[in-house]
Amino acid sequence: MKQENKVTYEVQNLSCANCAKKIEKRINEIDGVSEASIDIINKRLTFNNNSNKNNEDLLKEMNKIADSVEPGTKFVEVKKRFYEHEEETNEKTILIRLIIGGILFILGYIFEHLNIYSKAQIILFIVSYVLIGYEVIYKAIRNMIKGNLFDENFLMSIATIAAIYVRSYPEAVAVMLFYEVGEYFQDRALDRNRESIRELVAIQPKVAYVKDGTTIKEVHPAQVNINDVIVIKPGDLIPLDGIVLSGTSEVDTSKLTGESLPRTVEPNSEVLAGYINYNGLLEVKVTKIYEDSAVSKILELVENAQSKKAKVEKWITKFARIYTPIVILLAILITFVPMAFVENYVFNDYLYRGATFLVVSCPCALVISIPLSIFGGIGASSRAGILIKGGNYLEILRDAKIMVFDKTGTITKGNFVVTKVVTYDFDETELVNLTVSAEKLSNHAIGKAIAIYKEINQ
């Protein structure tokens, strides 16, 4: 048997939380695959492969599953995080489509209330409906062909088509418009949270200066190999973990350790990616490749935080699998059961009620609400500089009775501040001016604190 290994793939073209749960469930049923988890927020699939199949064969099988549940969804190799991340969906195109569809809807609504151009009203509503909802309808039809009825695409399509059947055109378009607008803003909210979390690790270096004989080449840190020698200029971010070969300097380690006091480094001292070099020129021998550096491991930890799901997330997943078919059954009952005992039964009226029930019972908001809330909490924490390793940790935090803090950067701000000047028979203003003149070009934290004191107090 092949030794178990953890695999991560990027998820493309998947925004339906309910569909993600279905795909996740079917992937976990593949022989040799365990702990498969789709993080719809960070667009990642992680699983353990302890089968005799290689990852490429499993990828093909998983892509078939994904496309059968949600047409167009696929898994690909994770893109290197140091390259600019391409947009998977064209947000501008979606926004333009919604705006044009919305304008046509408003025009049709105005024509209806002014009671003019009755045929024009219908044409405007139908064109608006198709423009706004064609993607939902297309996915619903594709899923129906593959025998997958229980998703929000089917619910929204059948409900709005029923509304069109009973000539409630404005309601059909409005429901589809609000649904798609909600999906658009949900995606934007997720994107904002992703960005706020990425800002937590904004210490990620973008360039390294490699010494090659007598020349120095500027390259991306990912292109640097172990044992290469890199040059760190004063004020530069250290791009890779390594050992100092030559030079003496002070480095700011606060981004990684929280300690505000600069640390002196000299030959044979260890330095980590993310440190800031203050005042000396350093030559460093690289000991770890970029992806194994401390700062990359922190970024990986943040990106994988949502894969550690809270118990309530797992519960809502199981609930949704039961909830959706029950909703469809109840809508059918609402439509047809009154036929047996309501004397003045009007099919169109009860069809409208059944369609209304489908719309308000769509499970997508239910399934996405808890993961989105947890991810929002992780994102909000990251903006305050707090790294939460996963939703499960956020959930158990409510039971915490005692909090233990590392002092620097939590209880204290992590910045040096001059609180008092003791002169011993020396003029305070002259002493501060002399000290600032000596320290004004320094990047040292204490020197900066003295300069700030002068600006505030003199």
Between CA 14 and CA 153 the distance in angstroms is 13
Q: What is the pLDDT of residues 41-97, one digit of tens each?
A: 567 888 888 877 888 888 889 999 988 887 788 898 876 443 344 454 567 788 888
**With pLDDT > 70 as the criterion, what percentage of the chain qualifies?**
78
For the whole prediction, is pTM greater than 0.85? no
What are 138's two structure tokens?
């297309």
Name the active-site residue from 67, 406, 425, 427.
Answer: 406
Distance CA 284, CA 231 (A): 6
Catalytic, 406? Answer yes
**Residues pairing with 49 in the sheet:** 5, 33
Q: What is the spatial distance between Cα 305 and Cα 392, in angstroms, rounded to a whole number?
A: 9
Under 8 Å between Cβ of 209 and 230: yes
> In degrees rounded to 5, what are phi and psi of residue 402?
-130, 135
What is the spatial distance between Cα 37 and Cα 379, in angstroms, rounded to a whole number? 20
Q: Is the dihedral of CA 256, 259, 263, 268 positive or negative?
A: negative
Domain spanning 208-301, CATH class: mainly beta
User: What is the Cα–Cα distance from 152 to 17, expressed in whole angstroms?
Assistant: 10
Domain 5-77, architecture per CATH? 2-Layer Sandwich (3.30)
Q: Which residues contact 430 (CB under 8 A, 6 or more apart)?
A: none
For range 27-40, the mean pLDDT? 83
Q: Is the pLDDT score of 13 beyond 60?
A: yes
Sheet holding 242-246, edge to edge: 215-219, 208-212, 229-232, 282-286, 242-246, 270-271
pLDDT of residue 19: 78
Q: Which residue has the tokens 């405007």?
A: 124
- When pLDDT is cut at 50, 70 and 90, the band that residue 117 belongs to is low
Q: What average pLDDT score do residues 198-217 get?
A: 77
Q: Where are the domains of the chain?
A: 5-77, 91-199+304-381, 208-301, 416-458
- Total residue count of the chain as it appears in this document: 458
Mean local confidence (pLDDT), 361-387: 68
- Please, are residues 392 and 308 in contact by the beta-carbon 8 Å criterion? yes
Q: Residue 268: pLDDT above 60?
A: yes
**What are the pLDDT digits (tens) for 302-342?**
656 555 555 665 666 567 667 778 888 898 899 999 998 88
Neighbours of 274 (CB within 10 A): 27
- Retrieve residue 209's tokens: 């200066």
Three-state DSSP class for residue 349: helix
Q: Tell me what pLDDT residue 424 has.
A: 81
Residue type, 174: A
Query: CA-CA distance, 127 to 117, in Å (whole number)?
Result: 15
Average pLDDT over residues 416-426: 83
DSSP state letters, 169-215? HHHHHHHHHHHHHHHHHHHHHHHHHHHHHHHHTTT----EEEEETTE
CB atoms within 10 A of CB 365: 15
Between CA 137 and CA 116 the distance in angstroms is 30
Average pLDDT over residues 131-138: 87
pLDDT at 374 over 80: no
